[in-house]
């Protein structure tokens, strides 16, 4: 079940749950956040942040206690938020290059590996950037869900 933050203060509180679990994040700034509950407990938090008007781009960050949070319906709803409600033309994510699980998850749901930013997360810790465009989402299983 997706529980959307009702306002900016609640979004900041929900996003803090994710920030505490993502080593390279201290806070997200202005954002929209959703908690994904499983069996009455927070299983994951998805934070949409870093909105850029010019390119209509939106960054997404995810922290999870278990991989079981990511049902098809949940993923479809979260991607629908980014492309329909927020109006993004591109949704992107940055993760450490040694976080193989996150990279595999993102590419597995249709994000394309786009770039590597050297030393973004410190010495010898590069960032892998993945993204999905509105058109890719529309043609995917998620755009038809």
- Quick check: is 125 in a domain? yes
Per-residue confidence of the chain (145 residues) as pLDDT tens digits? 999 999 999 999 999 999 999 998 999 999 999 999 999 999 999 999 999 999 999 999 999 999 999 999 999 999 999 999 999 999 999 999 999 999 999 999 999 999 999 999 999 899 999 999 999 999 999 887 6
Domain that holds residue 16: 2-139
- Quick check: is 81 in a domain? yes
- Quick check: is 145 in a domain? no
Distance between CA atoms of 11 and 4, rounded to whole angstroms? Answer: 8
CATH code at position 128 = 3.40.630.30
- Quick check: is 144 in a domain? no
Q: How long is the chain? A: 145
- Phi, psi at 13, each rounded to 5°: -65, -45
- Phi, psi at 93, each rounded to 5°: -145, 150
Say how many domains are in the chain.
1
Report the Cα 91 to chain-centroid distance in Å: 8
- Quick check: is 108 in a domain? yes
- Quick check: is 82 in a domain? yes
Residue among 27, 29, 37 nearest 4 (CA): 37
- Quick check: is 33 in a domain? yes
pLDDT for 144 equals 75
Q: How far is CA 34 from CA 1, 49, 139, in A?
A: 10, 12, 25
- Quick check: is 113 in a domain? yes
Residues 131/96, Cβ–Cβ less than 8 Å? no
């Amino acid at each position: 079940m997706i529980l959307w933050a009702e306002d900016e203060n609640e979004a900041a509180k929900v996003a803090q749950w994710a920030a505490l679990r993502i080593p390279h994040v201290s806070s997200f700034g202005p954002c929209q956040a959703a908690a994904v509950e499983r069996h009455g407990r927070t299983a994951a938090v998805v934070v949409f942040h870093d909105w850029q008007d010019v390119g209509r781009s939106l960054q997404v960050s995810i922290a999870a206690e278990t991989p079981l949070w990511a049902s098809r319906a949940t993923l479809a709803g979260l991607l629908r938020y980014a492309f329909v409600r927020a109006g993004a033309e591109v949704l992107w994510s940055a993760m450490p290059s040694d976080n193989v699980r996150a990279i595999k998850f993102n590419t597995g749901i249709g994000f394309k590996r786009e770039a590597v930013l050297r030393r973004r997360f410190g010495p010898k810790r590069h960032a892998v950037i993945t993204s999905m465009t509105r058109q890719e989402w529309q043609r995917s299983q998620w755009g038809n869900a």
